[in-house]
Amino acid sequence: LKYSKVSGSNQVIIFSDDFSFSKQKWSLRNEEVAEIIFVVKAGIEEKAASLIENIYKEVSNSRNIAPQQVRVIAITIISIVLNTLSDMGLSYEDIYATTKLPYCQIFELKTLNETREYIKNFMKFTIQSVKGMRAKKAKTIIKDIKDYLKKNLSDYDLALSTISERFYINASYLSRLFKQETGESFIEYLSR
């Protein structure tokens, strides 16, 4: 009965002498933690889904893991994601438009598969929201730069390097961002 919480209902579970619910501790490896942080920061949805699948496949293969431990793993992943958002200067409310933390939902899920799907959807939504916020921020920065250029067009010292310093942005990143947002290079825009 306990194992059905991990494997899901309607499963045949063979109980042998070597199968027991020991107090086995299962935790995320440092590489997995680093990968979770990376996929959230980089905004790679497919990699996030694959990573969660792999983690939960390992959990599923650990036949003597307790159901409580499955919840702890999910809560750990959520904590890593929320800490990553905080490191990026984003608050939980910015992303999820609610003050209700996702931890509560974990305790309502009944099986490993439900938990895995919840975590995958949580990661997907988080990454999509971060990407959307970055795009909005990029548009705002480019708009501010364009306004600055219009106001200071007579300044002979206008250049990508001085603008990047003024707006605290790496010059090569600004160059790519400007081209991406306006469809023309900084120099082309300034010349026009």
Residues 16-32: pLDDT tens digits?
Answer: 544 444 455 667 889 99
Q: How far apart are CA 13 and CA 3, in angstroms?
A: 8
What is the model's pLDDT at position 13?
60
Give the pLDDT mean for 155-173.
89
What is the model's pLDDT at position 117?
93
Q: What confidence tens digit (pLDDT) does each residue in 73-119 have?
A: 999 999 999 999 888 888 777 787 776 778 888 888 888 888 999 99
Mean residue pLDDT across the chain = 84
Which tokens is 23 given? Answer: 């107090």
Which residues are within 8 A (CB) of 88 and not within 5 positions of it... i.e. 6 or more apart? 41, 130
What is the model's pLDDT at position 68?
80
What is the model's pLDDT at position 2?
58
> How far lies 73's CA from each of 35, 101, 137, in Å?
15, 16, 33
What is the model's pLDDT at position 80?
94
What is the model's pLDDT at position 65?
72
Entry pTM: 0.70
What is the model's pLDDT at position 4?
57
What is the model's pLDDT at position 18?
45
Residue by residue, DSSP assigns 96-147 as HSSS--THHHHTT--SHHHHHHHHHHHHHHHHHHHHHHHHHHHHHHHHHHHH
Residue 156, CA atoms < 13 Å, CB-side half-sphere: 0
What is the model's pLDDT at position 77?
94
Packing angle between helix 67-87 and helix 112-151, nearest 10 degrees?
Answer: 0
Name the burial class of residue 33, with classes exposed (0-12), middle (13-18) and buried (19+) by CB atoms within 10 angstroms of its CB.
middle
Q: What confidence tens digit (pLDDT) does each residue in 23-65 have?
A: 556 678 899 999 999 999 988 999 999 999 999 888 877 766 7
Q: How far apart are CA 105 and CA 150, in angstroms?
A: 50
